[in-house]
Structure 1
Amino acid sequence: MANGKTPRGGARGKLRAHFLANIGRVMDSEELRVIADNQSEWARRVRELRTEEGYLILTHNDRSELKPGQYLLETAKPQPAFERAISKETRAYVLDRNGFTCQMCGAVAGELHPYDLTRKTRLHLGHVIDKSMGGTDDPSNLRAICSVCNEGASNATLTRPDLQKLLIQVRRATSADQLEVLKWLIAKFPQQAAKLT
């Protein structure tokens, strides 16, 4: 464009096209950053492809053979996705309630970011409980979060359960849900699962 800015959705569209052209190939964060024209929010665009468009883009959280910063699209067929349903009024309310300050690192909107002095702080809305884990778009489940924290947030702020609590939750689940957990574990650790059989 004439003003040098990428059109709205441009980086996301480029990333979508790149993933679809490279189904089954592991890509790293540097490759994806270049595809997105070095936009600082490339990781957010990848999350939007997962959560809003339903593309099954896997990371090290999904497959043990993937390292942090590696991504893999297994299929071109999107899964059911979440719609972006946060109104402008809700956004304004949450930002005002949070004092236009990132609720993770304390950075203030418009000021130089304390952990990245090369850019000013931009705030977004983040979910306290992620939508993928049953969270809603209700203001009580939303918080202001800056671009820097948002790039690596993806459920990272949730307390990790210890083994005993995790096993208790699995035991309490229905048999159908327990089978889904088993399928997920086998898919994440295929080599280890093969050794068990």
Structure 2
Amino acid sequence: MKEIKLKQKGSKAKLREFFLENVGVILNKDILSKIAGKTEWGRRVRELRNEEGMNIVTHNDRSELKPGEYLLVDLKPLPAFDRDISKETRAFVLDRNGFTCQMCGAAAGEPHPYDANRKTRLHLGHVIDKSMGGTDDASNLRAICSVCNEGASNLTLNRPQAIKLLAQIRRAPTTDQLDVLRWIIAKFPKQAQKLIGEA
């Protein structure tokens, strides 16, 4: 009788139930795809994480996890990703912020500066939190990595001033200064060519 009920459930419901039965247990993609019974199991896991706020982490969040491993840390719900933010707004904000975390500067997909075994995963964060009256407008959104996002609720930080950034670059070794130069040229190729032409 129970097996018949299980078959009638959707893949997301099956995954939710399985995660809840295995809190704190590392689960791999083979088990999850078998439970879901569909090729879209990864999408359903993302929906549980982003839309329902389940605290499911992967190797992008924790260096001790291998690719394809998932862990429901606890039953405490995380703030769910607000589906009112359109894909266009999301893409605009990430592009405007150079696909880098606006708190620590980590770039999407690169090893995280505080944990080289962990790739940087970006989310959208509110500058002024919704609980404090902030909106989903692009002007109130910023790219923020999962590491900074964990400790950034209701926190508003000012961007560093150019003079402070330049002071840090001047103090850095030549190899690091050249890395900064290469990054700036790659980010602003047209402006770099114009400046070189003017020199």
Structure-2-length-normalised TM-score: 0.44
Relative contact order (alpha carbons < 8 A, sep ≥ 6): 1 or 2 greater? 1
Structure with bigger gyration radius: 2
- TM-score norm. by structure 1 comes to 0.45
Task: Answer 1 or 2: which has greater helix percent.
Answer: 2
